[in-house]
Amino acid sequence: MTVLNGRARTWAGFAGAAALLFAIAPLALSDFRLGLLAKYLCTAMVAVGICLAWGRGGLLTLGQGVFFGLGGYAMAMHLKIADAGPGNLPDFMALYGTATELPWWWKPFANPAFALAATVLLPMAVAAILGLFIFRRRVKGAYFAILSQALAAAFAIWLIGQQATTGGTNGLTDIQGFFGYDLNDPVNQRMVYFIIAASLLALIALARQLIHSRYGELLVAVRDSEERVRFLGYNPANVKLVAYVVAAGMAGLAGALFVPAVGIISPAMIGIVPSIEFVIGAAVGGRASLVGAVLGAIGVAWAKTVLSEEFPAGWTYFQGLLFIVALAFLPGGLASLTGMVRRRRKAVQQKPALPVGEAA
């Protein structure tokens, strides 16, 4: 009966989320606000992977911007080639005048099937290679977080230095089309929003399946007692590697869908600061809760849009303070408040009443 009730609540939650995203939001929001929501949902997709890797596996991934950027640039490269037309160079290459033909590593992205696959498989492949070196050497904790953050910084610096082939600091901008559809048309922009919303729900379903499977239980066991899991015959490195690779694929997909939603991808969106922002959203909402991580990511992204306009110099400090407060005083995030209130009420109800004489 408990299992059935849990499944019923899950299906009811998905139905409510689908109704909110596909029916209520498009009717209640203007095209501009709906475009902002699409951007926030991309951030929430990254938070789903962080919930799996950090919330369940204890892997503080401060380099998700790398995988977000790999997916974003893979998608943007194809769209820029398509916008330029057959035989023409992307506009920024023609502007710089340093290339007469597409670089060899751009050419495969002219194929839409290759580009779509690369948005997810390329980040997963990079994560697999890095994870093999990191986890098999038993690097964990703060050392893993620092390494992942250094990777994000190195990737952003490399992109900036390749101005002739990646657009440098400006990135790939002014993207006009999306697989034959004009992104300047509000109808097509809504189509992109619906694709992003559907992808988010699909990733939540996938992450939930992993979390509640035997693998999810093993991942928690590795987080809590890695040596004991190794003693039982499992390889903790492989267990952590799966979570890291899956989270990278989710971030890559989010980056790929972010490009048509916003029309740009640049190093400023994938470096250290964006990587930390991804983690802050999951931490504030609740890194161990899928719903909490998603809502936290959306809420922090919305707050950044609103508060950074009013306090452009102070937003970064507020964001850092928010992260510190969440980790120090509310490790479970806002999602843990409900459980804390429920446990306190239960403790009060179960507390035995004192006899009248003792009470006096």
Q: pLDDT value at position 359? A: 46
- At residue 255, φ and ψ (nearest 5 deg) are -65, -40
> What phi and psi, each to the nearest 5 degrees, are found at residue 165?
-120, -15
- Which position has the token pair 């969106």? 269
**d(C-alpha 48, C-alpha 287), whole Å:** 9
Q: How far apart are CA 21 and CA 200, in angstroms?
A: 10
pTM: 0.90
Contacts of 41 (CB under 8 A, 6+ apart): 21, 193, 196, 197, 200, 298
Residue position matching structure tokens 């006096």: 360
Residue-level pLDDT at 6: 65
**What pLDDT score was predicted for residue 125?**
96
Q: How far, in Å, CA of 360 to CA of 355, rounded? A: 9
Strands (E), the chain: 177-178, 181-182
Distances 129 to 18, 79, 280 between C-alpha atoms, Å: 36, 27, 26
Question: Which pLDDT score, from 0 to 100, does residue 5 have?
Answer: 66
How many CA atoms lie within 13 Å of 335's alpha carbon, on the beta-carbon side? 22
CB neighbours of residue 164 within 10 Å: 14
Largest CA distance in the chain: 95
Q: What are phi and psi of 63, to 5 degrees?
A: -125, 25
pLDDT the model gives residue 145: 85
Which residues does the chain have with pLDDT short of 50? 354, 359-360
| Chain mean position to CA 137 | 26
How much is the pLDDT for 360?
41
DSSP 181-212: EETTSHHHHHHHHHHHHHHHHHHHHHHHHHHT
Q: Which two tokens stand for residue 142?
A: 């703060």
Residue 177 has φ and ψ, to the nearest 5°, of -125, 160
Q: Are 168 and 160 a contacting pair, CB within 8 Å?
A: yes
Q: How many CB atoms lie within 10 A of CB 85?
A: 8
